[in-house]
Amino acid sequence: MISLIIPSYNNLRHLKNVYTSIKKHAPEAEIVLLDDGSTDGTWDWIQTQDCIKYRSEERVGHTILYDKGIELATNKIVGILHADMIIGPNYIQNLIKHLKPLTVVCGTRIEPPLHPEGKEKIIMNFGLDFDSLNIEAFEKFVLEKQIEFKDQTTKGMFAPWILYKEDFQAIGGHDPLFAPFPYEDSDIFQRWILNGYKLIQSRDAFVYHLTCRGHRWSEQVGKDDNYYKIVSNRAARNYLRKWGSWIKNDEFQYPIISPKYDIGFIIKNCNSQLLEVLEPWCSTLYIDCDYKEYINKEQSNTSFDLSEKIKPYDNEKQNYILVEFDGTKFNQNSYYIIQNLSEIIKQSNELGEFELDIFKISILNLTTFEYLLINL
C-alpha cells in the first residue's frame, strides 16, 4: 500500500516513538529506516525491527537518504517522515484519499510553541521532547480535530508528504547539491510545481512534530549546532546559485516561484568581501579584482563551475541582463535591491536601460530559465 521513509542520525530515542506510532496507527505500512552513520545504537536497534533496513557508514544527510529509502521501497506510494514526528490516528487514510497521479499530499503538523505560528499548522503543546510526550492527549486531540476538519484541504507543502514513487523518480528525486541538508525540500517543491504536479495539504491527517531534532538542535533545544550552521550556509548559497533568488511561500507555505533570469554583475572597484557576498546572486560576475583565491576556497562547496562564472571586468558580456555598479558605493540598501532583483525585473517587464540606486540595469532579453531546473 504505502512505504514510509525515515532517515535518522543519532535520534534513536525519537525514532522509537515514530516507529511505535506507525505500528499502532498504520500497521499495514512498509517502514524503511535508514541510519545516517549514527553512534547512539540506532543501527543495532533497527536490525531488530520489522522494516527495510539501510545503514550509511558515514553521515551523508537526509537529502541523500530520502532518495535511497524511496529506491528501496517496494510499494507504489511512498512518503517521508522525520524521526522527531509521531503520526496520529487515520494519518495514512486521510492522506491517500486525496492522492492521484502527479499529486503530492502533505499532512498537517501539530507542533509545540517553539516556532512562529502559521496557517499551515496547529500550535499545541503535547510535550517538548521524546520522553515527555503526552501521546494519549495528542491522539484525543487528533480525533476531535478530524471531525472539525474532515476532508478539508488547503494549498501548502512541507514534510511529511506522500506521492506515487514513479512521480518522485520522474524528476530525479532530491538534488544532491543540497546534501546533507537543508533546502532540498524547497528545491523539490518548486520543481514539482514547475512540472505540473498538484500540491495539497490534508487538514485532517495529523502528525506531532517536535521540530529540528534530526539535524539542527542536537545538543539543546533552540541552539543550532556548528555542523548545521556550516552546511546550512553552504546549502543556502547553492540554492541562490541555482534559483537566482531566495525562498518565498504564501501564508499556507505554498511555494512562490520567482523567475530565473540570466543576470551578469559588472562591478568596478570590487573586493574579495563583495565578491563573496554577491557571487551566488547572479549567473556571471565581471570584476576588476583578483578572484583566484576565492575560487580555490569556495569551489569545493558547490558543483557550479566558478571559473566559468567569474570573469575579468573587461571580458565580453554575454548575459541577457547586465547590472553595472561601483563596489565602493554598495551598502545595505543596495543589497536589498539585489535580493529582490528578480521581482524588480519581472515588474519592469520591458527591454531597455534604467537606473536604480547605484545600479545601471540593461535588460536585453527577458527569457527565464526556471523550467530548465525541473529535472536533475
Positive or negative torsion for Cα 28, 29, 34, 38: negative
User: Can you give the pLDDT at residue 163?
Assistant: 98
Domains in the chain: boundaries:
2-243, 263-373
* pLDDT for residue 219: 78
- Residue ranges in the chain whose pLDDT is less than 70: none
Q: How many Cβ atoms sit within 10 Å of the Cβ of residue 141?
A: 18
According to the model, what pLDDT value does residue 221 have? Answer: 85
Could you count the other beta carbons within 10 Å of the beta carbon of residue 159? 17
What is each CA distance from 165 to 19, 55, 100, 132, 176, in whole angstroms? 21, 21, 12, 35, 18
Cα separation, 107 vs 340, in Å, equals: 31
- Averaged pLDDT of the chain: 97
- Domain 2-243 sits in CATH 3.90.550.10: yes
* Dihedral pair phi/psi, residue 321, rounded to 5°: -130, 130
Q: CA-CA distance, 180 to 64, in Å (whole number)? A: 7
pLDDT value at residue 215: 84
How confident is the model over 256-295, as pLDDT tens digits?
A: 999 999 999 999 999 999 999 999 999 999 999 999 999 9
